């Protein structure tokens, strides 16, 4: 699992990288992160700022939350389905 960095740190990295004074590799080395992280954060920042098309950070977190809710609801439906079948079996005529 990748290490989580605070949004402020990511913003600072993107700001320094966008200045263009240093290469992305130098920015990554200065902040002690991988160059791939800098590239990914730059790409996501472009999406969040409306420069590129894609899911914004808030949209991504909403999708994650909706998927969790869906999974929970599917489990609840399965539990209710099994409970209904169990109690219906007790009321069958013999």
Q: What is the pLDDT of residues 2-27, one digit of tens each?
A: 678 999 999 999 999 999 999 999 99
Which CATH number does the domain housing residue 1 bear? Answer: 1.10.10.10
Same domain, residue pair 49 and 71:
no
Question: What does the pLDDT read at residue 3?
Answer: 75
Which secondary-structure segment (H or E) carries 53?
A: none
pLDDT level of residue 93 (50, 70, 90 thresholds): low
pLDDT value at residue 91: 72
> What pLDDT score was predicted for residue 43?
96
| Range 30-39 average pLDDT | 96
29 and 65 both lie in a single domain = no
If you count them, how many residues does the chain have? Answer: 94
User: Measuring CA to CA, how many Å separate 40 from each of 36, 43, 62, 94?
Assistant: 6, 5, 19, 66
In terms of domains, do 66 and 79 share one? yes
- CA separation (Å) from 16 to 44, 49, 94? 15, 16, 78
Q: Which domain holds residue 77?
A: 55-94
Verify that 4 and 50 share a domain, yes or no.
yes
Q: Do 62 and 47 share a domain, yes or no?
A: no
């Amino acid at each position: 699992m990748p290490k989580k960095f605070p949004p402020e740190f990511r913003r600072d990295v993107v700001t320094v990288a966008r200045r263009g004074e240093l290469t992305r590799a130098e920015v990554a080395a200065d902040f002690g992160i991988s160059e791939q992280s800098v590239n990914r954060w730059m790409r996501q920042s472009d999406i969040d700022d409306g420069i590129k098309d894609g899911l914004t950070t808030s949209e991504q977190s909403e999708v994650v939350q909706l998927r969790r809710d869906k999974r929970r609801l599917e489990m609840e439906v399965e539990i209710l389905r099994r409970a209904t079948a169990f109690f219906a079996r007790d009321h069958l005529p013999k």
